[in-house]
């Protein structure tokens, strides 16, 4: 992946004030808000921050045209590409079958927990034929840490048998074939197509859906409708990487309950700025994974990942 001139550093975020909607922040990776930043510059005590609200400069007009929406959304994508030039799928895998299985296991749990569980699973069942012949109770024990292990075992046994019987033991590279496999929906199919076969796809998970609604790209809740709306905004060539960037941002900065608005590098572009913590110092404490100096979710991250590998299951 080609990084921008800013490399892996997040651009300094900007938050408009009443005096100027364009005043840049002085601290990299954090949004300076209102008179607080000015007071700090002159060593005067900062006045208490007012109730947070979306910056005037980035409020979305009620009658925003489709063209204006497209331009705004594409600019956010370009900014995220500079913040996360190393964005990637956060599941460990070595082939399409491993990615398919890992993605099925990732439902209702974290990618980290899946990555800590799959080494033993793939050591026991390296191929669809091996997995299809597994003893259910033995597989259940291997994947128990991911939760819902009985239902997931049933799905893995079913999809493995289908791969063995209907596809010669190979994972198909077409969406219409993938979604016929037990436990595989559009989200899982798009993950596999985009990252194992290079076929563009938009992955609408909880993070993706939450962020595109915060950015006012759509107000749709249904993942299929969200996918259709976003697909109409971006060219196919951007779909897979857009998905990674948005999910990365949702996991690291734009959290569900308390987004780190004050440390967000795209704060000036966000119509929901102020829903979370706007104080830069407090916001930085909310950052997760490599953004906060912590391990990532993969035990075997790609070479360009700037963070630390995740620990194995049971490691201190």
* Residues acting as catalytic residues: 187, 205
For 176-207, letters b (16+ CB in 10 Å) and e give: eebeebebbebbbbbbbbbbbbebbbbbbbeb
> Among candidates 150, 142, 162, which has minimal Cα distance to 100?
162
Residues 6+ apart with CB under 8 A from 64: 72, 216
Token reading at 159: 């999809």
With tokens 């609200």, the residue in question is 53
Give the Cβ contact number of residue 215 at 10 Å.
Answer: 21
Cα-atom radius of gyration of the chain, to the nearest Å? 21
What DSSP string describes 134-171? --HHHHHHHHGGGS-HHHHHHHHHHHHHHHHHHSTTS-
């Amino acid at each position: 992946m080609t990084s921008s001139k800013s490399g892996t550093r997040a651009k300094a975020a900007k938050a408009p004030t009443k005096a100027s909607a364009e005043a840049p922040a002085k601290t990299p990776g954090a949004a300076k808000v209102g008179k607080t930043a000015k007071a700090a510059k002159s060593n005067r005590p900062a006045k208490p921050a007012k109730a947070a609200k979306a910056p005037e400069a980035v409020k979305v007009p009620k009658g925003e045209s489709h063209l204006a929406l497209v331009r705004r959304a594409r600019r956010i994508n370009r900014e995220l590409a500079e913040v996360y030039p190393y964005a990637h799928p956060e599941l460990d895998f070595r082939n399409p079958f491993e990615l398919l299985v890992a993605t099925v296991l990732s439902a209702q749990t974290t990618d980290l927990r899946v990555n800590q569980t799959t080494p033993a699973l793939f050591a026991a069942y390296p191929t669809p034929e091996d997995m299809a012949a597994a003893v259910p109770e033995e597989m259940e024990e291997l994947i128990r840490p991911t939760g819902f292990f009985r239902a997931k075992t049933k799905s893995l046994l079913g999809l493995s048998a289908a791969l063995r019987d209907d596809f010669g033991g190979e994972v198909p590279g077409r969406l219409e074939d993938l979604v016929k496999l037990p436990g595989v929906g559009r989200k899982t199919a798009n993950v596999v197509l985009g990252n194992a076969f290079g076929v563009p796809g938009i992955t609408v998970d909880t993070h993706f859906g939450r962020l595109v609604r915060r950015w006012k790209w759509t107000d749709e809740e249904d993942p299929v409708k969200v996918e259709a709306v976003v697909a109409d905004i971006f060219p196919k060539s951007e779909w897979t990487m857009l998905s990674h960037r948005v999910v990365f941002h949702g996991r690291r900065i734009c959290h569900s309950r308390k987004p780190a608005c004050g440390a967000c590098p795209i704060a000036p572009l966000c119509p929901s700025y102020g829903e979370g913590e706007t104080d830069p110092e407090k916001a930085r404490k909310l950052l997760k994974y490599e953004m906060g100096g912590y391990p990532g979710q993969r035990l075997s991250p790609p070479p360009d990942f700037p963070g630390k590998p995740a620990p194995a299951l049971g490691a201190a």
